[in-house]
């Protein structure tokens, strides 16, 4: 059976008046995809939002642990242990890795968030991924808080549709 392995985890804290927001980045990849003699892996933003929003997303992903579909560090893990791992990230008990996150929004062009961004004057660029038309947005630094507004308004959006990371160390 194929499964996802996660190798490294880090969080970025964004202070906000109404409670801190977090961007959780995880380095992971499939167990059966290799680049040469090493399993392929990459960093992506997997969870994003307030503490509660991040934990809800962590619980959702943790559902794959019991059946072996998700293995932190390649080892079996209970959903409870996975949630605790993510909880430590938002409760500041882990030292963040060096790197940065930035807004990078790609949405199905029919998603209501497209209208939401249009009303805010965000500049849209049309892209095609695997034959699927998407609306893409590169926000200015001053607009980065908009990704958290999107997470509030549209909980169906996945974090990797809203932000990316760079500069994080490869395992």
Phi, psi values for residue 155, rounded to 5°: -65, -10
Q: Taking Cα atoms as reference points, which of 154, 145, 162 lies closest to residue 113?
A: 154
Q: Which is nearer to another protein, 70 or 114 (CB)?
A: 70
Q: Which is nearer to another protein, 79 or 99 (CB)?
A: 79
Q: Which two tokens stand for residue 80?
A: 């409870």
Phi, psi values for residue 144, rounded to 5°: -65, -25
Q: How far is the CB of 117 from another protein (least distance, A)?
A: 25
Q: Which is nearer to another protein, 46 or 105 (CB)?
A: 46
Q: Which residues bind another protein (CB under 8 A)?
A: 52, 55-56, 59-68, 78-80, 83-84, 87
Burial of 58 (0-12, 13-18, 19+ CB in 10 A): buried
Q: How many Å apart are CA 98 and CA 7, to the nearest integer?
A: 16
Reduced to 3 states (helix: H, G, I; strand: E, B; else coil), residue 65 is coil
Q: How far is the CB of 20 from another protein (least distance, A)?
A: 15
Q: How many Å apart are CA 148 and CA 156, to the nearest integer?
A: 13
Q: Which is nearer to another protein, 141 or 156 (CB)?
A: 156
Q: How far is the CB of 162 from another protein (least distance, A)?
A: 19
Q: Which is nearer to another protein, 29 or 49 (CB)?
A: 49
Q: How far is the CB of 143 from another protein (least distance, A)?
A: 27
Q: How far is the CB of 69 from another protein (least distance, A)?
A: 9
């Amino acid at each position: 059976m194929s499964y996802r392995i996660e190798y490294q985890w880090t969080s970025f804290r964004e202070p906000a008046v109404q409670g801190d927001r977090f961007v959780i980045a995880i380095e992971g990849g499939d167990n059966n995809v290799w680049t040469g003699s090493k399993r392929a892996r990459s960093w992506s933003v997997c969870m994003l939002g307030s503490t509660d929003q991040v934990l809800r997303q962590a619980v959702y992903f943790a559902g794959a642990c019991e059946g072996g579909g998700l293995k932190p560090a390649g080892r079996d893990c209970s959903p409870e242990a996975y949630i605790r791992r993510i909880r430590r990230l938002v409760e500041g008990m882990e030292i963040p890795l060096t790197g940065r996150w930035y807004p990078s929004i790609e949405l199905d062009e029919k998603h209501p968030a497209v209208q939401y961004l249009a009303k805010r004057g965000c500049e849209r660029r049309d892209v095609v991924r695997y034959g699927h038309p998407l609306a893409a947005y590169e926000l200015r630094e001053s607009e980065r808080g908009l990704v958290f507004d999107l997470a509030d308004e549209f909980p169906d959006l996945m974090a990797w549709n809203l932000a990316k990371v760079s500069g994080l160390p490869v395992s």
